[in-house]
Structure 1
Amino acid sequence: MQLMLRRPQRRQYAALCYRETSVGELEILLLTSRDTGRWVIPKGWPMGSKAGHEVARQEALEEAGVTGEAGAVPLGIYSYQKRMQDDFCVPCGVEVFPMRVTGCVDSFKEKGKRQLDWVSPSTAAARVAEPELRDLILRFATSFSPSA
């Protein structure tokens, strides 16, 4: 009976937005969710026939106003419970793509609806609630090599 009531996991796509400081240090972009104010990365539902990394890039633009190129190979997947209307939750698996931020726009869809913050990987990992996302951030930081 328990299995019959379990909802299937839904897929989302996210961008792990990053930049390199003038001294070669890695920074990660976090933003607050609109509903709970938790620290998250830009993510969203599939968009028609767009590939996952293209959805991630689009979400980064709409939610944080940043532009850049998202890698086509995901860093990994993390799971969380998406709270929907009427307070029911849907299990989601979020495929995370790295995105080197190269610019930003003045006007974007969710401007003023979220707080944005560029932070160190260790601070980003400490702020996010999902343990698997925390691990992805730290693993990415460990493998990061500054550009020449």
Structure 2
Amino acid sequence: MTSAISKAWEEVVRPMLLRPKRVQVAALCFRETDTGKDVLLITSRGTGRWIVPKGWPIDGMGGSEAALREAWEEAGVREAKIQPVPIGTYGYSKVLDNGASAPIETQVYLARVCEMSDTYPEAPERQRRWVSAEDAANMVDEPGLQDILRAI
């Protein structure tokens, strides 16, 4: 029995715990207001939780470019000035299409929004809302993203 547990630990459990995190890129979209910065949140398609636009890296694009593409597709950000270096990262566990859970590290790029569109690819599937950074931090679930929002 002990050898079966030991074998299961070494061949199944331990590798799952040590597997590398997958990477996503996110655009933390903001605009200046009289009271400070407002940030753009969107709802996730699956659960309706409040999140920032994010997705997988895209071949041939840098991280900030891919994050900006996600901001267009998911939130209708037509034009923005995005910083080329992430302002931070946060982790979360993503449920994949096959039902498995994967650890994700999300690189967050700060993007000053210049122009929005009311029509964009995922408009029928998501809500979007401009809120203060503090309100946004209280609306999202991920502690690391909450910290990034409170820091801007």
TM-score (norm 1): 0.89
Contact kept, 8 Å, 1:53 with 1:72, in 2: the verdict is yes
Aligned mate of 1:105, from 89, 113, 117: 117
Aligned length: 139
RMSD of equivalent CA atoms: 1.1
Q: Which moved more, 1:106-115 or 1:11-20?
A: 106-115
Query: Partners of 2:57 and 2:115 in 1: how far apart?
Result: 24
Identify the residue that residue 89 of structure 1 maps to in structure 2. Answer: 101
Identify the residue that residue 43 of structure 2 maps to in structure 1. Answer: 32
Stretches of structure 1 lacking an aligned partner (at least 5 in a row): 141-148
Give the percent of matched residue pairs that are identical in Structure 1 and Structure 2: 42
1:20 matched to 2:20? The reply is no
Q: CA deviation at 1:119?
A: 0.3
Identify the residue that residue 16 of structure 2 maps to in structure 1. Answer: 5
TM-score (norm 2): 0.87
Question: Greater helix percent: which structure?
Answer: 2
SS in 2 for 1:85: coil
Query: Partners of 2:16 and 2:133 in 1: how far apart?
Result: 38
Q: Which moved more, 1:81-90 or 1:9-18?
A: 81-90
Q: CA deviation at 1:113?
A: 0.6
Bigger-Rg structure (1/2): 2
Amino acid at match of 1:103: E
Stretches of structure 2 lacking an aligned partner (at least 5 in a row): 1-9
Contact kept, 8 Å, 1:57 with 1:69, in 2: the verdict is no
Amino acid at match of 2:53: P
Query: Partners of 1:127 and 1:95 in 2: how far apart?
Result: 19
Query: Partners of 1:11 and 1:102 in 2: how far apart?
Result: 27
Query: Partners of 2:117 and 2:139 in 1: how far apart?
Result: 25
Query: After the TM superposition, which segments of 4 or more aligned residues of structure 1 sit over 2 Å from their partners?
Result: 5-8
Amino acid at match of 1:41: V
SS in 1 for 2:104: strand
